[in-house]
Structure 1
């Protein structure tokens, strides 16, 4: 405690420091400015990583593909590709990335047996979905095969440990370890492909051939599928949350593709620019309907340009890409209830979802509302919803390594 003299001869006591409560300050030795942590053993979260890898390896497969001969130029040899996958059902169903098998006329699966030797089986592509980059394969094995259990990426947090097993550069059953760097990464587009997912970013090493391999938590369960790598730097890899694949797999088995629910609208995240274009409260929330396909499901239900969607079936809608995925995953023929705000008033509408058209022209209503910039942006987002993305194939690329675009490549 020190003393200071102010005008009028009044002396007051001035505390040198007042950190925390009086009780905690009294317990702190003189001169210490910090809070002392308890001395306790640090939990060795990584102590069972070797067990996780060892137990998972029998269910991880290496994939080799051969280019369709119809795509081979005269005088050239068919290209071969490599990738990874993992068994999800003892009857021989395997999950991998769609770009691993896209454009291939032959797909071969290599499995390590319980005795340690490698068995090869021809595989059939049951179905694939380019937009989520998921593919389901099937092999006919003479026995029941070991499987990996699928968990959920929802319990994965930043700095959690993950284990990646795959076939980088043809080196089967290679194990890398790292931590989750970010969850919900949506601002990346490998090879310019639009996607229906939030990437899991991690620093575990991912290389060409890792695509389709499992990303495991420390329980040995799959939380994501290795998918993309930043080719301009090390320590940045991306994986698709397994929750996305769990939605797609049943449709791939039943239909050979994902039949997406479709409303026929273009939506954008709420922003000051969008709010100004549609005369909305700039402090609002939700996603803004920037265009409606004429005679589409949404138009028939009564949705209009400028409507702000707040909830879908009582689930809050905060991002446009989230709404698009929720609608797609709901499925064809299903009904959804939208809570929205129109001209400041609450409105509830019921929409019956239809199958996403494979080929569709741009809506005729694109000229309505907003500036040319907003209308152009609306046209782009409509087309993103209507059209399938450009396929990511390994055909014709040496070693099966796709061309890198925007700094990212599918490994």
Structure 2
């Protein structure tokens, strides 16, 4: 089946395409989600009782670095609730077909292996306790598909962790340990109160160095997953320059008062001082649903899309190699409609420009995705599209987005 090839001026927008339907994944090599489950656990031995302060800046109150700094106070408050999460996953590789061929067996006999031995992959991440009963919040990619989850507390106690729920769309997971209750609990703040320039303290286990603390600031807010390059997620990140590395994933990002404002999740592999954290207010909602149901239902339409402006549309329309004319309006250009999706059933077509939903103007792909995410499953959305010189009003009933796994 051949897909329509858009002109170069529109193809240049492809890095901003949002995939809000199952199975649509775009690869961005410069971004790393931390850590990879395929990476072996570090062999470096560490002392979990040693707290390493990587960076420390003057206290706003005292103006001097010392034991009374706000960083020390924040770490003393939350540090005991931050945990290390080690995972194990067994991978069984398929036997090469030639090894099973009778011809080779006849000549080589027992010198050929009967089967390829399984391989054990180990992963490392962080998390933090959100309830005295042993509930731990972390990233989905830290524990996803793990056969064994081991949780180690700062006081060196270890427990087997049971994954209670995973949501791949927001990269969040809840793990439960049975530790007899009365565990240290991290204080959860509000990411809605965070401002650019606020202090940001990252706590976790980067590269296996347990109980590591780094300090920076909040660089920007509401950095969309599309801008970051994680197009299969639905998130607006907190961006920070606090140093985070593989192993920090799932650990808390704190404010100067020691309250959790985010969950460290990803870095830019081609940059320094650019890290991303999931806002804690979003995490609270997802964690609550994961505790109750073990999963989160996300509505979707089923389109690949890109933000369109009159200027971009004009560039396309004046391109002599362009074989399609795009309305020169602000909106969201539909690049592809997923077969058998709500959008396909409603009659949305490739090349349509979505300009309104339920009477609300739509001017960016991120805005459209947020509107859909905030809707209910089965809700009928009135979608206004510009199709050539005509305007179409279409009714789209949202359906549940299925996990890629």
- Give the Å deviation of 1:243: 3.9
**2: distance between equivalents of 1:274 and 1:91?**
55
Q: Relative to structure 1, is the Cα distance of residues 59 and 68 closer, same or farther in structure 2, using a 3 angstrom cutoff? A: same
Of 292, 295, 305, which aligns to 1:267? 305
- Give the Å deviation of 1:165: 0.8
- Asked if the contact 1:211–1:227 (Cα under 8 Å) also holds between the matched residues in 2, the reply is yes
RMSD: 3.4
Aligned with 1:183: secondary structure?
strand
**2: distance between equivalents of 1:172 and 1:122?**
18
Any idea what the Cα deviations from partners look like across 1:239-267, whole Å, max 9, x if unmatched? Answer: 22334433433443344333221223332
What's the TM-score once normalised by structure 1's chain length? Answer: 0.65
* Structure 2 runs not aligned, ≥5 long: 1-58, 64-68, 95-114, 318-323
Of 256, 261, 264, which aligns to 2:294? 256
- With a CA cutoff of 8 Å and minimum separation of 6, indicate the structure with the bigger relative contact order: 2
Choose 124-133 or 347-356, whichever is displaced more: 347-356
Map 1:374-389; keep pairs closer than 5 Å: 388=404
**2: distance between equivalents of 1:274 and 1:231?**
33
Any idea what the Cα deviations from partners look like across 1:209-258, whole Å, max 9, x if unmatched? Answer: 11110111223322221112334443232222334433433443344333
Of 206, 214, 225, which aligns to 2:263? 225
Of 92, 99, 105, which aligns to 2:147? 105
Any idea what the Cα deviations from partners look like across 1:259-297, whole Å, max 9, x if unmatched? Answer: 221223332211344464664553x32223344456642
Matched, 1:205 2:243: yes
- Asked if the contact 1:68–1:106 (Cα under 8 Å) also holds between the matched residues in 2, the reply is no
Any idea what the Cα deviations from partners look like across 1:292-312, whole Å, max 9, x if unmatched? Answer: 456642344454555443444
Q: Which residue of 2 aligns with 1:354?
A: 399
Q: Which residue of 2 aligns with 1:55?
A: 77
Q: Relative to structure 1, is the Cα distance of residues 251 and 336 closer, same or farther in structure 2, using a 3 angstrom cutoff? A: farther
Q: Relative to structure 1, is the Cα distance of residues 235 and 267 closer, same or farther in structure 2, using a 3 angstrom cutoff? A: closer
**2: distance between equivalents of 1:258 and 1:133?**
11
- Give the Å deviation of 1:324: 2.5
Q: Relative to structure 1, is the Cα distance of residues 88 and 310 closer, same or farther in structure 2, using a 3 angstrom cutoff? A: farther
Q: Which residue of 2 aligns with 1:333?
A: 378
Q: Relative to structure 1, is the Cα distance of residues 102 and 300 closer, same or farther in structure 2, using a 3 angstrom cutoff? A: closer
Q: Which residue of 1 aligns with 2:36?
A: none
Matched, 1:215 2:258: no
Q: Which residue of 1 aligns with 2:17?
A: none
* Structure 1 runs not aligned, ≥5 long: 1-41, 359-387, 392-411
Aligned with 1:239: secondary structure?
strand
**2: distance between equivalents of 1:298 and 1:77?**
42
Q: Which residue of 1 aligns with 2:89?
A: 67
Q: Relative to structure 1, is the Cα distance of residues 92 and 44 closer, same or farther in structure 2, using a 3 angstrom cutoff? A: same
Q: Relative to structure 1, is the Cα distance of residues 331 and 255 closer, same or farther in structure 2, using a 3 angstrom cutoff? A: farther
- Asked if the contact 2:92–2:119 (Cα under 8 Å) also holds between the matched residues in 1, the reply is no
**2: distance between equivalents of 1:306 and 1:336?**
19
- Asked if the contact 1:259–1:331 (Cα under 8 Å) also holds between the matched residues in 2, the reply is no
Q: Relative to structure 1, is the Cα distance of residues 341 and 281 closer, same or farther in structure 2, using a 3 angstrom cutoff? A: closer
Any idea what the Cα deviations from partners look like across 1:319-374, whole Å, max 9, x if unmatched? Answer: 2134224424534223444455566787665432112256xxxxxxxxxxxxxxxx
- Asked if the contact 2:252–2:264 (Cα under 8 Å) also holds between the matched residues in 1, the reply is yes
Of 166, 174, 182, which aligns to 2:220? 182
Of 204, 216, 234, which aligns to 1:196? 234
**2: distance between equivalents of 1:133 and 1:306?**
31
- Asked if the contact 2:125–2:142 (Cα under 8 Å) also holds between the matched residues in 1, the reply is yes
Q: Relative to structure 1, is the Cα distance of residues 301 and 57 closer, same or farther in structure 2, using a 3 angstrom cutoff? A: same
Q: Relative to structure 1, is the Cα distance of residues 154 and 82 closer, same or farther in structure 2, using a 3 angstrom cutoff? A: same
Aligned with 1:104: secondary structure?
coil
Map 1:109-148; keep pairs closer than 5 Å: 109-112=151-154, 117-148=155-186
Corresponding residue pairs, total: 312
Q: Which residue of 1 aligns with 2:207?
A: 169
Q: Which residue of 1 aligns with 2:368?
A: 323
